[in-house]
Structure 1
Amino acid sequence: MARFDMSSIECGALGAVRSGIVYFQLGMTYAIGKSTPIDRVAAHKWFNLAAREGVSEAVRMRRELSLEMSTAEIADAQRAAREWLTAH
């Protein structure tokens, strides 16, 4: 099954609400290991981006996920989200 990579999409056309939902779905994909290995750092990154777009469920999922992560993992996820925002 193909992996969905946001870096290959022109995100500006999606709009904030739609992109927030897509980010949330990516977070869930990595959080539960659906079609990809579980990756808490990637999940946290996508939940960060979804929360930034106003998806309230992403805030809750990010908080729950943080309880399972080390401080270093959370810092890596936050750095990855900032880098993604800078690049896109």
Structure 2
Amino acid sequence: MSHPACTLDFPMLDDGPALFDWGLACSVGSGGVELDLIEAHKWFNLAALAGDERGAEWRADIAATLSRADIREAQRRARLVLQ
């Protein structure tokens, strides 16, 4: 389930560093954001799509810890954001 704290103050989709920061916050549970690796994968994926190379690297690291079902869910959530 998506934690609301990971979706507040939505960054612009072309702002790779801001998208990466959201992924980082969700991946470690910092800044009042709950730890949520599926959301972290989603944000890192969006950061990578926006050109932030760190997003692709961190997405791969997170993916190594997730089940296939969790990765599919993260990808589904990213697609929803892009619609």
TM-score, with structure 2 as normaliser: 0.84
Give the ranges of 4+ consecutive aligned residues of structure 1 lying more than 6 Å apart after TM superposition.
none
One-letter amino acid matched to 1:78: Q
Q: Once superposed, what is the RMSD of the aligned Cα atoms?
A: 1.5
1:33 to 15, 23, 29: 29
Structure 1 equivalent of residue 53 of structure 2: 56
Aligned length: 76
Any unmatched runs of 5+ in structure 1? none
1:75 to 67, 72, 77: 72
Which protein has the bigger helix share?
1
Any unmatched runs of 5+ in structure 2? none
Q: Deviations over 1:25-67 (max 9, x none)?
A: 0000000110222100100000000000110011110000011
One-letter amino acid matched to 2:39: A
Residue identity (%): 34
Select the structure of larger CA radius of gyration. 1
